[in-house]
Amino acid sequence: MIYVEDVYNLLLTSIRKDSRGKSISVDQFNEVLPQVNLSLFEDYYKQFEKNIESSDTLAKFKVFDAAVVVTADTNNLAAVGLLPSDYYHIIGKPRKYSGTTVTRIDVVSTYENAEREDDYLTQPTTTHPTCMIGGVDTSSSPIEYKKIRVYPYNIGSPIYVDYLKVPQAPFLDYYVSDTLLTYTYLDEGDTVSLPLGYTYRDGTAGGAAVSVVSYTKDLDWDAEDMDLIMAKLMQVLGIQIPDEILMQAGTLNEAKIIGK
């Protein structure tokens, strides 16, 4: 895990600004860091399980045996379910358990599904089922759930899937001294009393019996990924990157993303 506060402090150090001369505010930092975080994840995903290094790096994002409730849709002859909200990409084959019997479900493309449906010999059955990933449920807006469609519709519920989850969006929460304008950063999961004379990020004034729940979210990456994060972050912000950071980031990128 990389603490989001460490990333921000290192960024300020890299651009040679002290904590009172912020050329990058905490709020600006919070706007761009999620983009950088997802960009790094996508870089590793491009080489997922093509080499050991990239696979190890993404191991913490693997979720196994997630139960998905599917409901029969007789009009479309499929059983439809909603994938978890943090779903990014399916890995392996979904399956159905019946006692000690495991029935694997083939993941097919839309075209392949149509081809199988047209041929009586290849149509999916409860013994040899298929599924497609597609469609979005927006009833829980702003969260969108991707759908999985399983054939035949009477496959039964639930099914189980293995998948890669998206990394949590990083965020640095804080409150500020009303007089000194100094920042106090909050740790992930903390509930803190907001002192008198301080103001929370959302404008809440401190005082007796005033407490806030930290919204800080740290990064899921390992310490060795810090150079890559800093290089990407500084590029997004249009900051000239020191040669040593470029060299370290390039070496790490080659070893972990393009490595053998």
The residues that bridge with 146 in the sheet, in sequence order, are: 136
pLDDT in tens, 142-175: 788 999 999 999 999 999 999 999 999 999 999 9
Q: Would residue 62 count as lying in a domain?
A: no
pLDDT of residue 75: 80
CA atoms of 174 and 188, how far apart (whole Å): 11
Does 111 share its domain with 176? no
Q: In whole angstroms, what is the distance from residue 242 CA to residue 128 CA?
A: 56
- Report pLDDT for 237: 80
Q: Report whether pLDDT(185) > 60.
A: yes
Q: What integer pLDDT is reported at residue 6 of this predicted model?
A: 94
Domain assignment of residue 151, given as a range:
70-157
Mean pLDDT, residues 50-56: 76
Q: Please, what is the average pLDDT of the chain?
A: 87
pTM confidence score: 0.81
Given this model, what pLDDT does residue 255 score? 53
- Residue 20: per-residue pLDDT: 46
Out of 134, 157, 180, a domain closes at 157
Domain boundary among 108, 123, 157: 157
- The residue among 2 and 252 whose pLDDT is bigger is 2
Summarised one tens digit per residue, pLDDT across range 13-23 is 877 654 445 57
CB 199 within 8 A of CB 178: yes
**DSSP one-letter string for 122-160:** T---SSS-EEEEEEEE-TTTTS-EEEEEEESTTS-S-EE
**Cβ atoms of residues 257 and 47 within 8 Å:** yes
User: Same domain for 44 and 80?
Assistant: no
Q: Quick one: what percent of the chain has pLDDT higher than 90?
A: 60
pLDDT for the residue numbered 179: 95
Whether residue 174 sits in one domain with residue 153? no
**What burial class does residue 143 get, using C-beta atoms within 10 Å of its C-beta: 0-12 exposed, 13-18 middle, 19+ buried?**
exposed
Mean pLDDT for 25-48 is: 92
Q: Are residues 78 and 32 in the same domain?
A: no
Residues 148 and 185 in one domain: no
In angstroms, the CA 85 to CA 210 distance is 32
- Does the pLDDT of residue 69 top 50, yes or no? yes
Rounded Cα distance, 26 and 21, in Å: 12
The answer, yes or no, to whether residue 218 has pLDDT greater than 70, is: yes
Q: By the 8 A CB rule, do 164 and 91 touch? A: yes
Q: Is the pLDDT of residue 71 over 60?
A: yes
- pLDDT value at residue 19: 45
- Tracing tokens 């093509």 back to the chain, one arrives at 50
For residue 63, being part of any structural domain is answered with: no
| pLDDT value of position 242 | 54
Over residues 118-138, the pLDDT tens digits come to 888 889 999 999 999 988 887
DSSP class of 82 = E
